[in-house]
Amino acid sequence: MAGFGTYSLLLLIWLASTLFLRLIFTKLGIINRPQHLPPSPRALPIIGHLYLLTKLPHQSFHKISTRYGPLVYLLFGSKPCVLVSSPEMARQCLKTHETCFLNRPKRSNLDYITYGSSDFVLAPYGPYWRFMKKLCMTQLLGGRILHQHLPIRAEEIRFFLKVFQRAASTKITIIVTVLFSLTCLPFQKNGVAVIIEGRDSDILDSVQ
């Protein structure tokens, strides 16, 4: 117990000293604060603005935006974030200045899994991303491709309703995993991926 108390005291002294030195350096101008940032609530050390979040984060964001405006600067731990809560600000971020918000943070594990961010979702904005977007829009989501998959979507809708009808007649609750698999089937059953044979009976049996 004595050792734990000593370590706790040393940790508190280290935190207090760090905060005190940072305050002095900020007052003297040695540490320059970032300029031209949106309004922000007072942040706590280490956790930033996480203390403002409750069990219902959307309500917490609404309270923050009501007090500080439609554009708020937040720190979640050490990660800076921007809270946008008005159509005009959303238009500025997603349309007018979209190039500033297109790239996602680099993660070593995701970069390894996607072979150097060579996929469409995590690729950085540039010529490769524009090429992949054009390829997806023309070859995967184009009008001709969607028209070719119309019979598949109609078949899956009939199967979806059939499962609900059988479950309703037997008064059985459909679990979330089965519902998710049913909604994903139209996207899986296309020219890229093939649904294994017998999946109709497997899913129908899972709701019995």
State yes or no: pLDDT of 75 exceeds 80.
yes
With contact defined as beta carbons under 8 Å apart, do 163 and 207 qualify? yes
Q: Is the pLDDT of residue 191 over 50?
A: no
Q: What is the mean pLDDT of the chain?
A: 75
Asked if 128 and 172 sit in the same domain, the reply is no
Please indicate whether residue 191 or residue 62 has the higher confidence score (pLDDT): 62
| 143, part of any domain | yes
- Which range has the worst mean pLDDT, 11-25, 102-116, 160-174, 177-191? 177-191
In the chain, the percentage of residues whose pLDDT exceeds 70 is 74
More confident residue, 20 or 79: 79
pLDDT of 203 higher than 50: no
pLDDT at 57 over 80: yes
- The structural domain count of the chain equals 3
- Sign for the CA dihedral angle at 136, 140, 143, 144 comes to positive
Question: Is the pLDDT confidence value at 198 over 70?
Answer: no
- Does the structure show a pLDDT above 50 at 160? yes
Q: Which residue has 């809708």 as its token pair?
A: 157
- DSSP SS3 for 190: coil
178, pLDDT greater than 80: no
Confidence check: pLDDT of 89 > 80: yes
Please indicate, yes or no, whether residues 82 and 47 belong to a single structural domain of this protein.
yes
68 burial level (CB within 10 Å; 0-12, 13-18, 19+): middle
pLDDT given for residue 83 in this prediction: 92
Within a domain: 3: no
For residue 74, what pLDDT is reported?
A: 92
Question: Could you tell me if residue 15 is inside a domain?
Answer: no
In a domain, 47, yes or no: yes
pLDDT at 78: 80
Q: Does 196 share its domain with 160?
A: yes
- Please check whether residues 88 and 119 belong to one and the same domain: no
Who wins on pLDDT, 207 or 71? 71
Task: Say yes or no: 45 and 97 in one domain.
Answer: yes
DSSP string for 106-148 = P-HHHHHHTTTT-SSSSPPSSHHHHHHHHHHHHHTSSHHHHHH
State the residue range of the domain holding 113: 104-147
pLDDT single digits (tens) 117-142: 777 777 888 888 888 888 888 887 77
Compute how many other C-beta atoms are within 10 angstroms of the C-beta atom of residue 185: 19
Residue 17 lies in a domain: no
Q: Quote the CA–CA distance of 139 and 142 in Å, as a whole number.
A: 6
Residue 22 lies in a domain: no
